[in-house]
Structure 1
Amino acid sequence: MTEIGQTLIERRTDLIQALLQHIQISLLALVIAMFIAIPLAIAVTNHHKLAEFFLQVAGVLQTIPSLALLGLLIPIVGIGNVPATIALVIYAILPIFQNTYLGITNIDPSLKEAAEAFGMSRWQKLFRIELPLAMPEIIAGVRNALVLIIGTATLAALIGAGGLGTFILLGINRNNSALTLIGAVAAALLAIAFSWLIGVLQRVKLRYSLTALALIVVGSLGYSGYTAYQNAQPTITIAGKLGSEPDILINMYRDLIKQDNPQAKVVLKSNFGQTSFLLNALKSEQIDIYPEFTGTVLEGLVKLPAGQTVPHSANKTYQLAQNLLQQQEQLTYLKPMAYNNTYAVIVTKKFAQQYQLKTISDLARVENKITAGFDLEFMDRQDGYKGLQKKYGLTFKTKSMDPSLRYEAIQRGSVNLIDGYSTDSEIRRYHLVALKDDRQLFPYYQGAPLMRAETAQKYPQIVKSLNKLHGKITDAQMRQMNYDVNVKKKSAATVARQYLMKHHLLRGK
């Protein structure tokens, strides 16, 4: 409880921001779903076959896994609030449409006949008889939809849309149960609060319900408009992948940019997702800069010329990555830092000693005893598991898992081999062994800022600021910084600033 209280105090500003983002995206999705589902349900009340068809379609859409739906939307509409909102709207349509349709069609037919006998028009009958009688059922559908939206909206953090999911992801990634619990409890309390509020609307008169719903609409659209206006202002958006290391780097980028240009508006999007998410966001101008590694560029972002192989030289790897990014993607790759955050194949010290494992080649002796836990990106990369199969001739039982869960899995004995990075703090924390890459499968992985060419041309001062990190940060220094964040629970911003000041890259204030 003490740790949770301390975390709440330290991150209260971040929590409020995440809460507002969560409310914004949830209400916006609810409003759009209501505008689609309620009129559509009213329109098909006298067309039962058509209504059944729409119910079936909405039901099928709701069965699509949320991650799969987000993955399908990203190539079409990019990353951020738009795909998250679309996905939430799709999930919310069914309960609203279904309850509206049933609420109207289940009204006692004698009441409708009486309305017709009094000479009411179709619209008079709808607004004076049908909607007032069906309103409790409609609001119940809205209530169910909103609770569903608030719970599902935690996944929006995976694609850079923010919200309370950022706390959950950050907690899982850093093995910080306090952060995970804060995010989960906050989302649950938010769902309970809005469910209670809408429940109140079920018990009041129609005009009050409509007034409250109108206020929700106006408030949601107004806040979304204000946010869009704010985002339209000149801003440098810097994003990072999942993990403490990218979080440290993007904070360094911000501090260096702000020092040289105090008036610059810099926005950070930490734990933005996998490589493909960030590259798509960069190319679609949703972000301006993110730290990328030279080996990742050559193995996953560009096409190597015919006959070209990945060099086993740090400088040649960077030069080739820089040239191909410029030629193929029109992206500017700034100068790299010193440390080499290459892939590592990791086992426990006990397992290594038991079978005398020192190199990756040694795993051939114990293939049948291995159950590996790899993240999805490593599973599908030529410098990952595919490379282990091709270059080392290794094939063993594998489980795919989120990067943040690998170390926990090997600690619990669920797996006995995992992928990781050479600068991971967990190697030191859990006394693990990174096996030597004796056949040089893994290329050099030096981190450097990646940005669009037009951004580099428009803001030459930013290029100059970020190039101050060229040749800085050793392997040992990065491992220590990761350890400070993941184990000592220091904030990435604090660790980044301390390094910059200690090495005279940032002036003290």
Structure 2
Amino acid sequence: MKELINTAASHQGQILAALGEHLLLSVEALLIACLLAIPLGMLLAHSKRAGEVVFQITSIIQTIPSLALLGLLIPLVGIGTTPALIALTAYGVMPIYQNTYSSLRNIDPNLEEAADAFGLSRWRKLTRLEFPMALPMILSGVSISLVMIIGTATLAAMIGAGGLGTYFMLGIQQNNNTYLLIGAGLSAILTLAMSALLKFMSSSKKHFQLTATVLAILALGLGVSQMPKLFSPKQEEVVIAGKMGSEPDILINMYKDLIEKDNPNVKVAVKNNFGGTSFLFSALKSSKIDIYPEFTGTVLQGLVKEKVATPHDPAKTYQLAKKLLAKEYQLSYLKPMKYQNGYDLAVTKTFSKKHDLKTLSDLAKLDSSLTAAFDPDFTNQQDGYLGLKKAYGLNLQVKTMESALRYKAIASGKAAVVDGYTTDPEIRQYGLVALKDDKKFFPPYQGAPLMKTSFAKKHPGIVKSLNKLAGKISEKDMQQMNYQVSVKHASASKVARRYLQKHGLL
């Protein structure tokens, strides 16, 4: 509980922003679903064949897995809020339509006949009799739809739409229960609060009118509060995104501070925990984002089309990555930082002392019955264990597991060796020793800002600001900063700013 409170306090701004994104996205999807489903249900209530066809179509949409639907939408409408809103609306339509259609079809025939006898027109019969009687059932469908939308909206974080799903993803990735509790707890509170509001609205006509009036006033007030922004001098917005985890979050906040300090007419929007490598790379090429930090080894191993051997010299690796990015994608790769976030194998200090382990060659001399806990990607990559096995003659008993769990495994004595990255905070957290890659097998991984060449030419001031990080930040510095954010739950923006101030960059 103490850790939860500390994390909530240190991430207060980010948590509120994520909650606001989640609420706005959910409400927008619900409103659009209502505007589609309720009129459609009213229109088809007296046409059984057409009504059943539409019901079957909406039911089929419900059977499509959320991730599959989002994946299908990305090539059509890109990433971010738009595909998330379309998917959530599609999932929200069925319960509302079903309840609207069914409730209008099941109104007592005697009442219908009485309305006809009194000479009510089709419109007056709908508005004075049918719709008021169907309203409780319709609002029940809206409530069901709301729960589905809020729950499914957590997946929006996977395509850059933000929301509380960010904390689910971070919690799973880092094996951090605090983040999972924040995401799950706020999602549950949001669902309960919105469901209570809908229940209050449906309890009486007076409550419905009161709630609608209050919401209209709030919407009007929000609109008025945004008016000054429409008349204030326009600032250019630059979007900087980062991959999942503490390190990219720290880097993009450094970029933000440096750019805004030197370029007062530029407003930087930070998209932290935006997604994986291929997702960010696609977003950059399609101009959904302007800048993100990428690593030299990753560029040559997975991004460029031309298959080339990765040099072991960091400078040559960077120059080759820079050249191929410019040639194939018209992208500019700025100067890299000092540290390398490359692969390593780590053991406990006790194990290292017992067997006099300092290098990977030393590890190869030990008994092959040693258990290793490796990430699934590392286990099956040529620049991971497959190549490492040949280079050093390793023959470990490998167990694959999720990234966050492998450190738990070595800490609890379930594994003797783990893979990781040189800047992982868990090395310090669990008192591990990273073994030296004495044969220089692992490719260099230096990080640097990546952007479109057209953007770099248009913004020489931004390029100059970001180049201040060239040759800066040691592995020890980054490991310490990662430790502060991942383990101590300090704010990434504050940790980034402290480093810049301490080294005279801000």
The normalised TM-score by structure 2 is: 0.86
Partner of 1:70: 70
Matched AA of 1:471: G
In structure 2, C-alpha distance between the alignment counterparts of 1:222 and 1:498, rounded to whole Å: 35
Instruction: Report the equivalent of 2:250.
Output: 248
Structure 1 position 501, deviation (Å): 2.2
Long gaps (5+) in structure 2: none
- Distance in 1 (CA, whole Å) between partners of 2:413 and 2:86 is 40
In the TM superposition, residue 404 of structure 1 has moved relative to its aligned partner by 4.2
What is the aligned partner in structure 1 of residue 153 from structure 2? 153
Per-residue CA deviation, residues 378-431 of structure 1 (Å, 9 max, x unaligned), is 567553466568877979765463x44543455456776654211111022113
Question: In structure 1, what is the Cα distance between the partners aligned to 2:161 and 2:288?
Answer: 11
Partner of 1:359: 360
The change in CA–CA distance for 1:372 and 1:216 in structure 2 (over 3 A counts) is: farther
Give the distance between the partners of 1:87 and 1:204, measured in 2 at CA. Answer: 32
Given that residues 373 and 406 in structure 2 are in contact (C-alpha distance below 8 angstroms), is that contact kept between their aligned partners in structure 1? no
Give the match for residue 41 of structure 1: 41
More displaced 10-residue stretch of structure 1: 198-207 or 3-12: 3-12
- 2:487 corresponding residue in structure 1: 487
Q: Alpha carbons of 1:381 and 1:221: their partners in 2 closer, same or farther (altered >3 Å)?
A: farther
Q: Which amino acid aligns with 2:375?
A: F
Check the 8 A contact 2:240/2:289 in 1, yes or no: yes
**Alpha-carbon distance between aligned partners in 2 of 1:127 and 1:349, rounded to the nearest angstrom:** 76
Shift of 1:6: 3.8
State the Cα distance separating 1:503 from its structure 2 match.
Answer: 2.0
Which residue is 2:27 aligned to?
27
Judged with a 3 Å threshold, the aligned counterparts in structure 2 of structure 1 residues 121 and 263 are, in CA distance, closer, same or farther, namely same
| Partner Cα distance (1:222, 1:386) in 2 | 57
Paired letter, 1:420: G
In 1, Cα distance between the equivalents of 2:104 and 2:115? Answer: 14
Counterpart Cα distance in 2 of 1:378 and 1:216: 54
Work out whether residues 373 and 406 of structure 1, in 8 Å CA contact, stay in contact via their aligned partners in 2: yes
Which secondary structure does the structure 2 equivalent of 1:466 belong to?
Answer: helix
Q: Give, as a single letter, the amino acid of the residue that structure 2 aligns with 1:449.
A: P
Compared CA separation, residues 60 and 485, structure 1 to 2 (3 A): same
Task: Indicate the residue corresponding to 1:196 in structure 2.
Answer: 196
Q: Which residue of 1 aligns with 2:298?
A: 296
SS at match of 1:236: strand
The change in CA–CA distance for 1:190 and 1:396 in structure 2 (over 3 A counts) is same
Report 1:246-285 matches (<5 A).
246-285=248-287
Aligned partners of 1:206 and 1:365: how far apart in 2? Answer: 78
Q: Percent identity?
A: 52
SS at match of 2:274: coil
Q: What SS does the aligned partner of 2:288 have? A: coil
Residues 189, 53 of structure 1: CA spacing in aligned structure 2 closer, same or farther, 3 A cutoff? Answer: same
Q: Shift of the alpha carbon at 1:260?
A: 1.3
Q: Please state how far the C-alpha of 1:204 moved relative to its aligned partner.
A: 1.4
* Aligned counterparts of 1:286 and 1:217: Cα–Cα separation in 2: 34
Q: Residues 303-318 of structure 1 correspond to what in structure 2 (within 5 A)?
A: 303-304=305-306, 308-318=308-318
Return the alpha-carbon distance in structure 1 between the equivalents of residues 94 and 258 of structure 2: 49
CA contact (8 A) 2:11 2:491 kept: no
- CA distance in 2 between partners of 1:119 and 1:38 (Å): 25
Shift of 1:125: 2.7
Question: What secondary structure, in the 3-state scheme, does the structure 2 residue paired with 1:115 have?
Answer: helix
Q: Are the structure 2 counterparts of residues 39 and 423 from structure 1 closer, same or farther at C-alpha, using a change threshold of 3 Å?
A: same
Task: From the superposition, tell whether residues 384 and 56 of structure 1 become closer, same or farther in structure 2 (CA, over 3 Å).
Answer: farther
* Amino acid in structure 2 at the alignment position of 1:339: Y
One-letter amino acid of the structure 2 residue matched with residue 374 of structure 1? D
Query: How is 1:23-422 mapped onto 2 (pairs within 5 angstroms)?
Result: 23-171=23-171, 173=173, 177-205=177-205, 208=208, 212=212, 215=215, 219=219, 234-304=236-306, 308-346=308-346, 359=360, 370=371, 372-374=373-375, 378=378, 382-384=382-384, 387=387, 399=400, 401=402, 403-408=403-408, 410-411=410-411, 418-422=418-422
Distance in 1, Cα, partners of 2:414 & 2:37: 45
> Secondary structure of the residue that 1:472 maps to in structure 2?
coil
What secondary structure does 1:268 align onto? Answer: strand
Contact 1:156/1:162 (<8 A) preserved: yes
Give 1:439 shift: 6.0
**Aligned letter for 1:277?**
F
Conserved in 2, the CA contact under 8 Å of 1:28 and 1:221? Answer: no
Structure 2 SS opposite 1:285 = coil
Aligned residues: 500
> What SS is found at the alignment partner of 1:287?
coil
- The one-letter amino acid of 2:251's match is L
Change in 2 beyond 3 A, CA 1:353/1:295: same
Give the direction of change, closer, same or farther, for the CA distance of 1:103–1:425 in structure 2 (3 Å limit).
same
**Other structure's SS at 1:265 match:** strand
Report if the CA contact (8 A) 2:157-2:274 is conserved. Answer: yes
| 1:214 Cα deviation after fit | 10
Contact 1:373-1:398 at 8 Å conserved across structures:
yes
Distance 1:323 1:190 in 2: 49
The AA in structure 2 aligned to 1:452 is: K
CA distance in 2, matches of 1:71, 1:426: 33
Distance 1:139 1:351, change over 3 A: farther
C-alpha distance in structure 2 between counterparts of 1:418 and 1:90, whole Å: 43
Question: CA-to-partner distance for each residue in 1:417-453, whole Å, 9 max, x for gaps?
Answer: 6542111110221133445556655311000000111
Q: Distance in 1 between matches of 2:7 and 2:95?
A: 37
Aligned match of 1:469: 469
Distance 1:220 1:22 in 2: 21
Q: Secondary structure, in 3 states, of the residue corresponding to 1:240?
A: strand
What is the root-mean-square deviation in Å for CA atoms of aligned residues? 3.6
CA contact (8 A) 2:371 2:396 kept: no
Shift of 1:280: 1.8
CA deviation profile, 1:151-208 (whole Å, cap 9, x unmatched): 2222322332222333444455556544443333222111111100000111112893
> Which whole-Å CA distance do the structure 2 matches of 1:55 and 1:354 have between them?
68
Letter in 1 for 2:468: K
1:116 partner SS: helix
CA contact 1:364–1:394 (8 Å) conserved in 2: no
